[in-house]
């Protein structure tokens, strides 16, 4: 996730920024689609993972939005 967040902001090519953003979106959707039984089997807590990266992702998305507006 840190690499994708960095690509979302620093990549000069719009296509690569879009791909990085799309990858983050699909990762987040995958975590959110886990139900409690899946999390117990995989020993993964999607909420904890999202909490770790939420600030960085929101910062990256705001930066992209500001660039788009400019």
pLDDT digits (tens, 9 = 90+) for 10-39: 889 888 888 998 999 898 888 777 666 666
| pTM passes above 0.75 | no
Q: For residue 29, what are the domain limits? A: 2-69
Q: Give CA–CA dist 50/27, Å, rounded.
A: 10
Q: Would you state the pLDDT for residue 22?
A: 92
- The total of structural domains in the chain comes to 1
Residue 66 has pLDDT above 90, yes or no: no
Helices (H), ranges, 1-70: 2-10, 14-33, 36-42, 46-69
Q: Would you state the pLDDT for residue 37?
A: 62
The alpha carbon of 9 is separated from its chain's Cα centroid by a whole number of angstroms, namely: 12
Q: Give CA–CA dist 20/7, Å, rounded.
A: 6
């Amino acid at each position: 996730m840190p690499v994708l967040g960095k690509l979302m902001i620093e990549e000069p090519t719009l296509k690569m920024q879009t791909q990085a953003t799309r990858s983050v979106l699909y990762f987040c959707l995958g975590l959110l689609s886990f139900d409690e039984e899946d999390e117990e089997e995989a020993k993964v807590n999607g909420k904890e993972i999202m909490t770790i990266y939420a600030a960085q992702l929101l910062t990256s998305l705001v930066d992209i939005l500001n660039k788009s507006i400019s």
